[in-house]
Structure 1
């Protein structure tokens, strides 16, 4: 006899209490295997695929794409058991859904991505997008009856007069319309999906200009502009002749308060987490910045010689990271954090080096674990791996937390210097500007050398300017004379 089990949004770790559904990977009626990913969600840390610990037939889904759910809220129900797992056939009387922790008659892995635990009760669920007008009752598979009147079951739109072939667009009044009953619309990124949702656009009404109909940001912006354009009067229509003054429409509350109209973008997901962390850093950390110009000609030459010798290529940021770890060994005050409740400075034994990476989803800071014990070659490989994972939007919460010092190479944006905000709760950040040829006094003569500006932003609670200056001067000396680094290898 089949049993219906309810799978709830698991605790994703690091104190995260909610997640936004980005894309469903299964439909109602699909047969899923144990630990098969069923939904892609975005948290404040990263985008992750959530596996279901049960194998069987999906009988209901809770939440549309774009819905934000708290930890512990139902995600889907699965009918487990021999008959339902094979063909989804009826299996006797309707069964009440069991808890995700209950033992089922079918197999279960028990893997529900349990992290550190939040301990908070499930908050009220809220729907981000309105229900589809004229939608038919919730979609159900011919499996054992699921729980009565679920709050977030994916609706199935009413059938169109001319059904479209699955995965293709139908023509409705000369406008390409995607089949609303066939999975998620292909969109280039979650940011574009969110832009359309915040502006009330139905992505299924758009025709993407990207490969295979992929919807790009430009497609959404064109649709937004078309929606805001005033209607064109029909040919021959009489123009209004009244001269009476027309009372202006009441301004929205936001316009009345600010006196201006503009696009309002919710601070959610990664962007919201970055905003919270930077605001907290600026509130709590009394930071100061010092900087110095350094001649990087010899460092560039040393890197070129390393790469010419064969083997894996060594990146410039890996050499700078190796210099940072050597400098932190000499100045451990900067590899620390401040516990204000205990009024203590906590010096950390290992260097977990974060590095700023710009992605389509915004700025993220992946962390290289145990950087103090890695070679330049190992650091290069890890930087490449984490950067590629970041661009794919697949960084895990563990990849983004636990850093003790950050290296920020803003020179890739073509700028010489910056005064960055410290990545809370760390105590310092080294910034590296672009390396450009400049006139420089070298061995008593004016010459053109490769010059870089280095800046150190530090927490003034953990050290004074003398320590920060000593750290930065050592880094500059290693950049100008890489042989200095040999003393610590």
Structure 2
């Protein structure tokens, strides 16, 4: 008899607690090999193909495309050790459970077994059906609080409960061993929202005392009707959470300056005129200027440990750069940018930008930044006050480079002008340090030869 094994959504790393099913790569009845990708999911950081550690026949799938699942929730079940079909189309018999799975469930890991052609079969002794998650049981109103630790493992569930002032100790979990799932919390939230409505139906209608009197206050969300609602999840949800946290926790300030970028643009044109040499982008030159400035002002390459009340100055510069994609705003990270040249940094920026556009960035390529460069000039705007990419301490914003009237060597002339803005965490430094950093960046933009001193 075949053994049915359950494959759960694995921990995808980087602190991720949930993922959305984007596309199933297998269907019920398909034969899968060990470590064959079976589903494509979208986390808050990247699109990931999840390989299955078991080889056999898919007997059930949990969740439709678009469904959001927490880590540890069932993804699919596989019948392992199914006997060979008389027609010869069934899966080969497995020798046992020890070799039936690799245990490697992250992209990039696995046994490297060759992919198996999909075959639809109905395994003997196992009923193949698409599993439809059942709705959790109704929450008993106001039970006595549960003593001891609350059966919750997902930070998302805890945050959702906090946002709606929900006491998790009063919930009965529908998961294994009473585990409280997101569906339990959402059901309790709906019940709490419906309760006042049911009470108001029983009350007699009361007319306002005067024409100027207003009815009882109604939340803006519930009063809106007919509007389109877009779920804040995936990349957009992650960005929303991070920016909100940045605004809550970081006392930021912004300073800005206009700079004459004419010499920088001329230097770039000269670099790119060399036959056979790779092209250097303006963003790459600005990134190299940033690493030189951070070497002079290391306070801005730091983070704040709020609990310890300490500023942590970081030895490496992992430079993030903002990239707009169809999935939303992402910030790929150039590792050890302080060790690179304008050419090598530019090549890495180009590689990561292409991966961002195709949705193939890994979570590791989107985390760990220590300073961010934001080129919003590509949108045709001159200035902005960027929000710091938490938990970093600063972000340099760059506007468009356009011809403008400028006093050059005592004469009015048309020059290539750019606005630079620096948003910084006022806990890590004062305005003098931030101004010094920004002025050095502007000086390098205006006189690129200054960079030769740090090469």
- Report whether the alignment pairs 1:362 with 2:328: yes
How many pairs were matched up? 357
C-alpha displacement of 1:73? 1.3
- In the alignment, is the contact (CA less than 8 A) between 1:286 and 1:459 conserved in 2? yes
C-alpha displacement of 1:82? 6.9
C-alpha displacement of 1:312? 0.9
Partner of 2:274: 309
Residues 66 and 146 from structure 1, CA distance in 2 versus in 1: closer, same or farther, beyond 3 angstroms?
Answer: farther
> Aligned with 2:248: secondary structure?
helix
- In the alignment, is the contact (CA less than 8 A) between 2:394 and 2:425 conserved in 1? yes
Residues 143 and 405 from structure 1, CA distance in 2 versus in 1: closer, same or farther, beyond 3 angstroms?
Answer: same
**CA distance in 2: counterparts of 1:34 and 1:89, whole angstroms:** 12
- Report whether the alignment pairs 1:278 with 2:271: no
Partner of 1:110: 103
**CA distance in 2: counterparts of 1:32 and 1:153, whole angstroms:** 23
**CA distance in 2: counterparts of 1:33 and 1:20, whole angstroms:** 23
Residues 56 and 468 from structure 1, CA distance in 2 versus in 1: closer, same or farther, beyond 3 angstroms?
Answer: same
Moved more, 301-310 or 105-114: 105-114
- In the alignment, is the contact (CA less than 8 A) between 1:410 and 1:432 conserved in 2? yes
> Aligned with 1:87: secondary structure?
coil
Residues 3 and 106 from structure 1, CA distance in 2 versus in 1: closer, same or farther, beyond 3 angstroms?
Answer: farther
Unaligned runs of 5+ in 2: 109-119, 135-217
Residues 67 and 254 from structure 1, CA distance in 2 versus in 1: closer, same or farther, beyond 3 angstroms?
Answer: farther
- Report whether the alignment pairs 1:266 with 2:259: no
Alpha-carbon RMSD across the aligned residues, in angstroms, is 2.6
Q: What do residues 209-232 of structure 1 show as CA deviations (whole Å, max 9, x unaligned)?
A: xxxxxxxxxxxxxxxxxxxxxxxx
- Report whether the alignment pairs 1:287 with 2:252: yes
> Aligned with 2:83: secondary structure?
helix
Residues 318 and 264 from structure 1, CA distance in 2 versus in 1: closer, same or farther, beyond 3 angstroms?
Answer: same
Partner of 1:319: 285
**CA distance in 2: counterparts of 1:58 and 1:483, whole angstroms:** 63
Partner of 1:81: 81
1:429-440 alignment to 2 at 5 Å? Answer: 429-440=395-406
Taking structure 2 as the reference length, the TM-score comes to 0.74
Unaligned runs of 5+ in 1: 93-102, 116-139, 155-252
C-alpha displacement of 1:108? 2.5
**CA distance in 1: counterparts of 2:454 and 2:74, whole angstroms:** 54
Q: What do residues 339-385 of structure 1 show as CA deviations (whole Å, max 9, x unaligned)?
A: 11000000000011110000001111111111100111111111111
**CA distance in 2: counterparts of 1:322 and 1:300, whole angstroms:** 15
Partner of 1:480: 446
1:314-463 alignment to 2 at 5 Å? Answer: 314-463=280-429
C-alpha displacement of 1:328? 0.2
- In the alignment, is the contact (CA less than 8 A) between 1:52 and 1:112 conserved in 2? yes
Partner of 1:143: 123
- In the alignment, is the contact (CA less than 8 A) between 1:352 and 1:405 conserved in 2? yes
**CA distance in 2: counterparts of 1:30 and 1:483, whole angstroms:** 63
